[in-house]
A and B are shown apart, each in its own frame.
Chain A
Amino acid sequence: MSDANTPMSGSMPAPTPAPAPRRTALNSIHRQMGGKMVAFGGWDMPVEYSGITAEHRAVRERAGLFDVSHMGEISVRGPEALDLVQHVTSNDASKLSFDQAQYSGLMTAQGTFVDDLLVHKFTDDHYWLVVNASNCEKDYNYICQQNDFDAEVVNTSDGYTQLAIQGPAAIKVLQPLTSVALAPIKYYWFTTGKVLGVDCIIARTGYTGEDGFELYFDPEHSDKVWNGLMEAGAAVGMLPCGLGARNTLRMEAGMALYGHEIDDTTTPLEAGLAWITKLAKPDFLGKTAIAAQAASGPQRKLVGFEMIEPGIGRDGYPLLRAGKPVGQVTSGGPAPALNKNIGMAYVPTAMSAPGEEFDIQIRNRTARAKLVPLPFYKRAK
């Protein structure tokens, strides 16, 4: 047995020599709980504990708890904090109310992605960005470079442990541990309050396609909050979940992952993210390029596919038409809640309608796939 490829790490740049991966405050707990540890985005993270399928199903049916402290947090403060955020991101942060968050893109001048991120608004002069682990340093430097405003940019990543409690029963597990009323917090809104006596940012956000919350707090309380949540979750069968289930869950939900569906060569229009690209906004990096592409129409589009012959179209595999490569899988694998093999891919716009079929080159053979609408999975409201 030997790895033919490792999609989980396929997109990560390989630094030479590789520095020792960083550890979250919960590293020893993950190891005690039997977490299988892997290097991801410069961090030593659990990829699974009991198994990706079981963890995936726990989140779809009950609840799962993820340590996502590898994610980066950048604060933007000052009288012109909004102007800086508006300049570097594609979505319209001026529409945010206090305690509201939005999904957005950190853009290059060419209209491609430096990263994708969540923009949280605390006050008129305080915004807080949650970014990908592997991009955090790059994002911070980029925002600083673009900072011709009366705003202060601080990388606050070391100040937070981030836990995601996700699944239909997440609210039932979390509510008894806090005096904050959770039900009134709407999707993509947040508040601050104590969970298990620890000051937290409590956001109704996630990356799984389920209801759930993300908690941000001082890393010194990590064990207490993790253990308290696990204890409270036992009654509903909550499982600790690793990056493997996080990936299959977000893939079923049709959510982009940086380095796969989006990067500095892809635009939001190609990636199906026109909804986070507000061309009516006065100015932002890449707006001219994106507007030009909107006028002419993108040449390629991100699509969803499911395999209709036995085989798994994985990250990087080519999509063929009449034996010729016309596109490439960005993320692919089994969808544990759907019992199908699914994936996302870029294909020419003319071939991007649901129902179109392709052969996917799977090592030394091909297998047929059919385009289907995204997302693959949508929870019942």
Chain B
Amino acid sequence: MSYPANFRFTPEHEWVATDGAQAKVGITDYAQKQLGDIVFVELPAVGTELVAGQAFGTVESVKAVSEIFAPVSGTVSAINSTLVQSPELLNSDPHGAAWMVEVKVTGKANDKLMDAAAYEKFVAEEEANH
């Protein structure tokens, strides 16, 4: 799966797609592959303030729990309730239907965000070290 050119990526394998002041956030295809079969997603309530770099939710696979970190600061304006009902969407469509939250961006983005080419290189290095 390729990484969309309009997304930005964190070293912890979240993505953010910004459209004006609104941004959608999710986890990457590499992240879902590392986690394996995803069975549970916990998301913050609408209105929650996210701080870039801080945990805002969890994703559980059969074997492990992972925290999800905010790529940007802002206020949660929507959560993907379909994903909460069907966590396996994260395995099948991580960059699309399995978006996690929509955020009204207020602060600055995480300054470690990578573009698709940089992220692909980053993932290739992680895989080589595995």
Interface positions of A (Cβ within 8 A of B): 1-8, 36-37, 47-48, 51-54, 244, 247-248, 310-312, 314, 333-334, 336, 341, 363
Contacts and interface: CB of A to CB of B under 8 A. Distances in A.
Interface string B67-105: 111000000000000000000000000000000000000
Interface residues of B, number: 24
Contact of B69 (A1, A5, A48): A1
A1 B13 contact: yes
Closest 9 CB pairs of A and B: A4-B65, A52-B62, A53-B37, A1-B13, A334-B39, A1-B66, A1-B31, A51-B37, A1-B12
Nearest to A245: B62
Contacts of B40: 310-312, 334
Given A248-B62, A312-B60, A341-B39, 13 more contacts: A1-B66, A1-B69, A4-B58, A8-B63, A36-B36, A47-B36, A47-B63, A48-B36, A51-B37, A54-B37, A244-B36, A310-B40, A314-B65
B109 to A, nearest CB: 18
Contacts of A6: 63-64
A4 B65 CA distance: 5
Interface in B12-26: 12-14
Interface string B35-61: 111011000000000000000001111
A193 to B, nearest CB: 36
Contacts of B35: 1
A26 B27 CA distance: 33
B69 A53 contact: no
Contacts of B58: 4, 363
B67 A244 contact: no
Interface of B: 12-14, 27, 31, 34-37, 39-40, 58-69, 130
A247 B69 CA distance: 29
B67 A8 contact: no
22 contacts: A1-B13, A1-B31, A1-B34, A1-B66, A3-B64, A3-B65, A3-B66, A4-B65, A5-B65, A7-B63, A8-B64, A36-B36, A37-B130, A47-B36, A47-B63, A52-B37, A53-B37, A312-B40, A312-B60, A333-B63, A334-B40, A334-B62
A2 B66 CA distance: 5
Given A1-B27, A53-B37, A333 B67 contact: no
A224 B64 CA distance: 34
Given A48-B36, A52-B36, A363-B58, A1 B64 contact: no
Nearest to B58: A4
Contacts of A312: 39-40, 60, 65
A6 B60 CA distance: 11
A1 B65 contact: no
A4 B67 contact: yes
Contacts of A36: 36
Nearest to B32: A1
A7 B58 CA distance: 15
B9 to A, nearest CB: 11
Contacts of A314: 65
A312 B60 CA distance: 8
Nearest to B30: A1
A37 B34 CA distance: 11
A7 B67 contact: no
Nearest to B31: A1
A311 B39 CA distance: 10
A152 B63 CA distance: 41
A244 to B, nearest CB: 5
B32 to A, nearest CB: 9
